[in-house]
Structure 1
Amino acid sequence: MKKSYVRNGILFICLVLILSMVTGCTQPAQKPVDGNTNKNDVTTPDNNDTEQTSKISEKERVIKVMFGEHPNQPVKEFAPAQQEIFKKTNIKLDFEIVPSSNYEDKKKILLATNNLPDILKINKNDVNDYGKMGIFLPLMDYVNNDMVYFKEKWDSIPDLIKVTLDGELYGFPVIARNEAKNGFGPVIRVDLLEKHNIEAPETFDELIDVLAQLKEIYPDSSPWSMRSGTVKNIQKVAYMLGSGYGDNGIYYDYDVDGGRYVFGPATPEFKNVLSYLNKAYEAGVLDRDYAVATKQQWEEKLTSGKSFFFLDNSGFGLNYTNNLRKTDPDAKFQVLPILANQDGARRAIFYATTFTGEMYGVSAKVKDPDTVIKFIDWMYSEEGSNISNFGVEGETFELDANGEPQFIESYVKDFVDAQPAPYYAIYSDLGITKLNFSLWACNTMTQFQIEKLTGTWSDLYDEYWGIVGSDDAYVEPVMDPPLTSEEADRVKDILASMNTMLEQEYDKFIMGVKDISEYDAVIESAKDMGAAELEEIYNDALARLSN
């Protein structure tokens, strides 16, 4: 929707500023790569053969975008996908890259000072915390009146209403494209189990016994390694152990009262999580550095033979097996069926296969927001998605008979020996997929194609996806309901003090500094600080959505 406040004088100033940004950019735009005109027109929703006759911006426009750089996928300046985007739209993306390990801290500073780039990666908590403060551009008017491709997705995915605040949209969700189902799972060196005639565990208690046997055989090992700190690791294991821990402790539990939101750390069931991790720690099988180990340190232990088990993104085991087999042809990490917990229950949650949990907010101070919104809408089109996930048509991908993008084998073959995996190297080379800037984003779709073209795909991969796909312990994730601004403010107030208190306690119980019986007092403190009110807010919000 065209905004009445955009007048000719302001538009002229904006254009001058934009032109100065383009000419002052650190890396000049490279010559566009020739390619076939895509059949998707940015002004029509149907996929006909109408040729695009105009670009999104009449003049070259620079848009600054900030997101975190994953260590496995370094971000190249003006990579081929961004060159192709520029060629198609006249929009040059200027990435402000922050290491993923520091991204949250950097983002919080920018949000607190309202000093944002044009577009930045956010999440729903940021919407709840800052949506009503005038930092982000309100988007629903644009969705309803100006957008074509995103509006189609908005109308076809009812759950997207859950990313709103008071009925307003403050961030564009990253929507997954043809995503396969997997999730956190227990992954172990099955070759070592076979070598030493150790039966694979079927319960969490058996797991500690198995890891203790491996520790005895390999005394210098740290059988179970973790990454990214205590809270992140509790999030991965808590649901399987009969409790749960969402982004801030609140999570949806299918098994409580037919399904409801629970604040995990304030329940007796959470004691089982801490008790189990303490048991693993006392048995010497949990890495002594579990609370501080980085992703790099974690991977070094798993790929050097120092560690034999992890409970994390189970697909990582495929890459680690490939790395190990360079020196040990028999090495094999493989996911186990979800283990039974102390109550005999097998519980796990798939990753989201539609909404990734990531969003991109637009600064309320952005110049010429109409053009920015038009560009974002194009990014949700097939043409925008193909480029931002496969690169340049005719050079790195082609469309098959069904109109689906397929990587070109001759391009992919150049990355057969690339590290840490061929698909990461290709993503980095092209500037593509969800770890770069893509709004209708691929992950497993592109990964599978590359692995099959490079010969990385093997029976191990078929076995892995077969195990995950047939395991009935997994359930679909529940997307949190939208809150009112008053509810969001109250949630923020409760969590700020309560999680500060809780996060100081977890390691004391895991390391045995405190006996687990003392956690009852922690539960009472959490209740006094608003845990029950927090649950009520989320369950009331969910009930509103159902009415």
Structure 2
Amino acid sequence: MKKRSWISAVGVVALSVSVISACSGGKENPSGSDQKNGQGGKLEPAKLSIMIPDGARVWKPESPVIVELQKRTNTIIDAQLVPGNSQDYTNKYSVLAAAGDLPDISKTNGFEFQNYADSGVYLEISDLVEKNAPNLKSKISKEAWDLLKYKDKTFAIPYENTPGKIVPVIRTDWLEALGLKQPKTLEEFKDVVTKFTFNDPDKNGKQDTYGIGAGSGAWQTDLMMIFGAFGAFPFQHEIKDNKVVPHIITPEYKQAIEYIKGLWDAKVIDPDFFIIKSDAAQQKIAQGKIGTFEAWWSIGPQVVTRNLKMKEVVPGAKLDPFTQLVKGPSGKASMLSLGEIGGSIQISSNAKDPAAAIKFLDYLATDEGWELSRFGVKGLHYNTVEEGLLPEGKKASDEKWLDPLGQVIFRTDLFKKAAASGQSPEQVEDYQFMKAGLEYPLFNDALYGLPQTEEQKTLGSDLTKYERDMFIKFVTGLEPLSNWDNYVSEWKKKGGQKILESRVAKYNELKGTKLSPGL
């Protein structure tokens, strides 16, 4: 008998670029600044420290990729890859920032750098970019640079994003085993996940599968398609009748919770759903216990299928993206746009050699540097991007050390070009998932990209915790949905109203509008 208990994403291994081109900057020392000569007249390497989320990668300083990258940039890189989910990373980052101990180069998620910019931990980099980073300036869109300006200053380098990246995934072999088709409505979805749970889809004679499992370890991501079917996403806003409406207190959001609670009560959701970490969730998928999940597009083909070797563990397993999203009661269907900004890169105000840091980042923005950081050493790990990885490259990817620094600078143009032109079976499979994410209808948050208000900084953390806790309590039955009105009232008192009012005021100030809070 299945016991119940009660969220905790992963970086993307991108499908790389076009033909190697000459990088800009001095060929002898494209990344280092004017340092004193060492023996033999050579410039001494610049020592740079970096911190980024691990993205399911490991740091191997002696790897051919890192050795070659350091050689081409005349640097010595000390990188710290932080494991865990996005909140784990944010927690560690906050501690280092508070202590004034950030590394030379660091990455933050989304617009989180704004939480630290006023404390003086970052260098204002507009002059550095102008003088030393022609590729960062030209290869990253002006719109992205403008979005990340903070109080008319530039503290952050955009890590650009393709907005549609979260993909719902289904076990096609289970559908075939049970004579089912991909669901198109919420009713059909419930029927499919119920049969995935109770009708022995893997034919092992045991009741050890679940229709729905976590893919990212973050409930707002792991249930995104369902929220989209009701047109109400947690933490998002839309403009209706000249009012900015927060989804999280709307009747549609309540309806989404009611539907999800029905799935929970039917025991078709993995009981570890709200407590499992992303790596453990993906292991469970690879072990053949989960019928549907939602995650970053690369999780299905790259992490689960190849890195965790699902097809060796579960012969015949076949993961596919949903070809179309399930529709809700009013015909709505969408995923959430992640926006044009996936994160940002900052240079510490304590960096000993800011010029070396910005030149190193600029090299990663060249065609050559981006390809090296993503695909490895040409002739050893791959020959052409279209042909994909050679055996040595696949081995390095399986061992997770091929491309850790591929998470530092993102070239949208090369990513899309390479994704569509890849010819290897792995690239074709990857593109199937990536293309699905790009083609789903997307909901865009009306307040996306706004600088954080003081109210957000002081009240936001506690409010987010309340929103998360109440969602889980409603779904698991620890809080009856009959207390919905009390939830909304408490949400306003705990900062929801003040935060919304401040954000609408900021929106009006920047956009020249006269919107009002939709409370």
Same fold, TM exceeding 0.5?
yes
Aligned length: 471
CA contact (8 A) 1:396 1:408 kept: no
Q: Does 1:412 align with 2:396?
A: no
Root-mean-square deviation over aligned CA pairs = 3.5
**What TM-score do the two structures reach when normalised by structure 2?**
0.79
DSSP 3-state at the match of 2:402: helix
What are the Cα deviations for residues 371-429 of structure 1, in whole angstroms up to 9, with x where unaligned? 3233333332333323222333454456xxxxxx63776x613455x5xxx8x438623
Please list, as runs of the form range in 1=range in 2, the aligned pairs for 1:209-288 lying within 5 A after superposition.
209-218=191-200, 219-226=207-214, 227-230=216-219, 232-233=221-222, 237-245=226-234, 249=235, 251-253=236-238, 256-257=239-240, 262-288=245-271
- What is the SS of the residue equivalent to 2:401? helix
Q: Please report how far the alpha carbon of residue 167 of structure 1 lies from its aligned counterpart in structure 2 after TM superposition.
A: 1.1
- The residue type equivalent to 2:48 in the other structure is I
Residue 119 of structure 1 contacts residue 360 of structure 1 at CA under 8 Å; is this kept in 2?
yes
3-state SS of the aligned residue for 1:406?
coil
TM-score, normalized by length of structure 1?
0.75
Gaps of 5+ in 2: 1-18, 34-42, 201-206, 513-519
Query: What residue in structure 2 maps to residue 360 of structure 1?
Result: 345
Question: Is the 2:380–2:390 contact (alpha carbons within 8 Å) kept by the matching residues of 1?
Answer: no
Aligned residue in 2 for 1:495:
460
- Measured after TM superposition, the shift of residue 488 of structure 1 is 2.8
- Hey, what does 1:205 align to over in structure 2? 187
Output one character per residue of 1:232-288: Cα deviation in whole Å (capped at 9) or x when no partner: 54567534432112xxx2x244xx428985433233322123212211100110111
Shift of 1:292: 0.9
**Structure 1 residues 514 and 41: alpha-carbon distance in aligned structure 2, compared to 1, 3 A threshold:** closer
**Is 2:31 the partner of 1:63?**
no
**Bigger shift: residues 532-541 or 376-385:** 532-541
How far apart, in 1, do the equivalents of 2:231 and 2:289 lie?
29
Q: 1:443 to 1:277 in 2, by over 3 A?
A: farther
Q: Counterpart amino acid of 2:475? A: I
The match for 1:349 among 330, 336, 348 is 336
For the structure 1 residues 533 and 238, does the alpha-carbon distance in structure 2 shift closer, same or farther, using more than 3 Å as the test? farther
Write the deviation string for residues 206-255 of structure 1: whole angstroms up to 9, x where unpaired: 2112222232312332221115254554567534432112xxx2x244xx
SS at match of 2:453: helix
Distance 1:372 1:136 in 2: 13
On the 8 A contact 1:76/1:428 being kept in 2, the answer is yes
Does residue 510 of the first structure (1) align with residue 475 of the second (2)?
yes
Deviations 1:188-216 (A, max 9, x none): 22332232223432112321122222323
Partner of 1:308: 291
Q: 1:302 to 1:387 in 2, by over 3 A?
A: closer
Overall identity of the aligned pairs, in %: 19
Match of 2:24 among 34, 38, 41: 41
Partner of 2:7: none
Contact 2:51 2:103 (C-alpha < 8 Å) held by counterparts? yes
- State yes or no: 1:123 paired with 2:109: yes
- Work out whether 1:107 is the aligned partner of 2:107: no
Question: Kindly tell me: are residues 470 and 96 of structure 1, through their superposed partners in 2, closer, same or farther at Cα, counting changes over 3 Å?
Answer: closer
More relative contact order in 1 or in 2 (CA 8 Å, sep 6+)?
Answer: 2
1:62 Cα deviation (Å)?
A: 0.7
Superposed counterparts of 1:133-172, under 5 Å = 133-153=119-139, 156-172=141-157
Question: Cα deviations across residues 93-135 of structure 1 (Å, max 9, x unaligned)?
Answer: 1112322344222211101111111111113543221101111
User: What letter matches 2:385 in structure 1?
Assistant: Q
User: Does residue 529 in structure 1 map to residue 507 in structure 2?
Assistant: no
Secondary structure at the aligned position of 1:96 is classed as strand
Distance 1:333 1:495, change over 3 A: same
* AA matched with 1:412: L
Kindly provide the CA deviation profile for residues 331-365 of structure 1, in whole angstroms up to 9, marking residues without a partner as x.
3222221111232211223555x53x221211111
- Whole-angstrom CA distance in 1 between matches of 2:432 and 2:497: 43
| 3-state SS in 2 of match to 1:186 | strand
Conservation of the 8 A alpha-carbon contact between 1:397 and 1:407: no
Give the superposition deviation at 1:521: 1.0
CA offset at residue 520 of structure 1?
1.8
Asked if the contact 2:190/2:263 (under 8 Å) is kept, the reply is yes
Alpha-carbon spacing, 1:477–1:296, altered in 2? closer, same or farther (3 Å): same
